[in-house]
Structure 1
Amino acid sequence: MKLAIIGYGKMGKTIEKIALDRGHEIVNIVEERGANVLKQLSQNGAEVAIEFSQPEAAAENIKACIDQKVKVVSGTTGWLDKMDEIKKYAKQKEGTFFYASNYSVGVNLFFHLNEWMANLMSRYSDYNVKMEEIHHTEKKDAPSGTAITLAEGIVKNHPDIQNWKLFEGDNVPENSPENIVPILSKRIDPTPGTHEIIYKSDIDEISIKHTAHSRTGFALGAVLVAEWIKDKQGILTMKDFLPL
């Protein structure tokens, strides 16, 4: 398969290595942003673009791929305020767009476990929930896209939880509202990504945790999705790729 890589940081380089190891051809590596740069995608025959760029560039990059009739797999976080706009654009242009906040198979299993646990814990009002997430210092957005997906999963499955709130520093205040998920974000090198959901009462504490040991799981998942999406159409997510 002919692939384009948009965004050539640490994740882009890991994706390149995995894609080449799996026998794919990299026909474009795009480090800049904008439609003029991305016009070359269709000229070089790219079938799928894997987009891990920057929050301020993601929407423009995705639109350019759709304009060039190149299917796009995006993992950039921190730009979700434009998600509805991008979905509408992809639908109007009959493009193929796949987004996930995290492409790791293990993390997506963790998403499912988190939702199940939120539903279970909603029956026990003595427990308050909070989340802690740790990433490397180069990660620009906080909380992480994975943390937001986890928080949204809790809100959807726990009737007493209405929203989430970001806290930065060492501690979540003890007097934080009970109807939110407090998210404590830390940036510590060289952590690829750790997420922990904690339910605490006066009596005890229950937690579930996912720890990434490297970027490989994220990058491999993105390449697997690119392979899968080649023959698909429309707006798709990990729930389509990995039904649970």
Structure 2
Amino acid sequence: MKIALIGYGKMGKTIEKIAQERGHTITHRISDDIANHDLKTTDIAIDFSIPDAAFRNITSCFQQGVPVISGTTGWLKKYEEAVRVCNENNSGFIYASNFSLGVNLFFELNKNLAKMMSGFKDYSVSMEEVHHTQKLDAPSGTAITLAEQIIANNNKKGWKLDTAGEDEIPITAKRIENVPGTHTISYESKVDTIKIEHIAHSREGFALGAVIASEWLNGKQGVFTMKDVLFQNM
């Protein structure tokens, strides 16, 4: 495949390395305005840019006939509009708050545990996420996805950063140098604590998942999720 990288920071460079190892070609490395680039000869774009630029980057690709894999978080208020532009241009799109295959398995575990715990009112649920100091948004997109899954399968009504009400999930966000990403969900009662945790050891898991998603999306039209990719590859 011919891949355009939108956002050429640490993640973009890790994706480049893995994509080339898997036999793909990088046609563009974009860190400036996407309007300066003609992407029409590109097979797919992988977007790990910044929240303020993500919607413009993604829809510009669709308008040039280029499907998009996006892992940029913090822009989802415009997600449905991006889906509309994708469909209008008969393009393809996968957004994920986290492309790690391990995290997406963790998502399924989280949903199942939330269902199991929903009948046990003595347990309170909380979450902690830890990332590197360069991460701009808090809580992380992955933490929000996890919280939304718990809300959909449990008796909570919402989530809040730090201090939360009785019917909300408190999320603690920490920023520590050189931490790729750790997410911990705890169910605590007076007598015990149940925890599930995902610890990323490097960016390579996120990057590999994004490349695998690109390979899966290539040649397809429509809007998909990492669940489609995950079960295709299991």
TM-score, normalisation: structure 1: 0.93
Give the Cα separation in 2 of the matches to 1:92 and 1:155. Answer: 32
Matched to 2:199, the amino acid is T
Aligned to 2:211: 223
8 A contact 1:11–1:215 mirrored in 2: yes
Residue identity (%):
54
C-alpha displacement of 1:81: 1.0
Task: State the superposition RMSD in angstroms.
Answer: 1.1
1:8 aligns with 2:8: yes
Structure 1 gaps of 5+ residues are: 168-172
- 1:140 equivalent in structure 2: 136
Q: Which residue type is aligned with residue 9 of structure 1?
A: G
Q: Secondary structure at the match of 1:197?
A: strand
Structure 1 stretches of 4+ with a deviation exceeding 4 A read: none
1:84 aligns with one of 80, 86, 97: 80
**Residue identity in the other structure for 1:88:** R
**Aligned with 2:39: secondary structure?**
helix
Shift of 1:231: 2.1
| Aligned twin of 2:36 | 37
Residue pair 1:30, 1:37 contacting (<8 A) in 2 also: no
Post-superposition offset of 1:41:
0.9
Measure, in 1, the Cα distance between the counterparts of 2:209 and 2:177.
Answer: 23
- The one-letter code sitting in structure 1 at the alignment partner of 2:68 is V
1:65 to 45, 61, 73: 61
- 1:129-173 C-alpha deviation (Å, 9 max, x unpaired): 000000000000000000011001101111x11111112xxxxx5
Q: 2:45 aligns with which of 49, 58, 81?
A: 49
Verify: 1:22 aligned to 2:22, yes or no.
yes
Give SS of 2:91's match: coil
**Residues 41-61 of structure 1: per-residue CA shift (max 9 Å, x gap):** 11xx21000000000000000
* Equivalences, count: 232
SS at match of 1:131: strand
Q: Which one of the candidate residues 182, 201, 220 is aligned to 1:232? A: 220
User: 2: CA distance between counterparts of 1:89 and 1:213?
Assistant: 36
Cα deviation, residue 62, structure 1? 0.3
From 196, 216, 222, the counterpart of 1:208: 196
* 1:67, distance to aligned residue in structure 2 (A): 0.6
SS at match of 1:70: coil
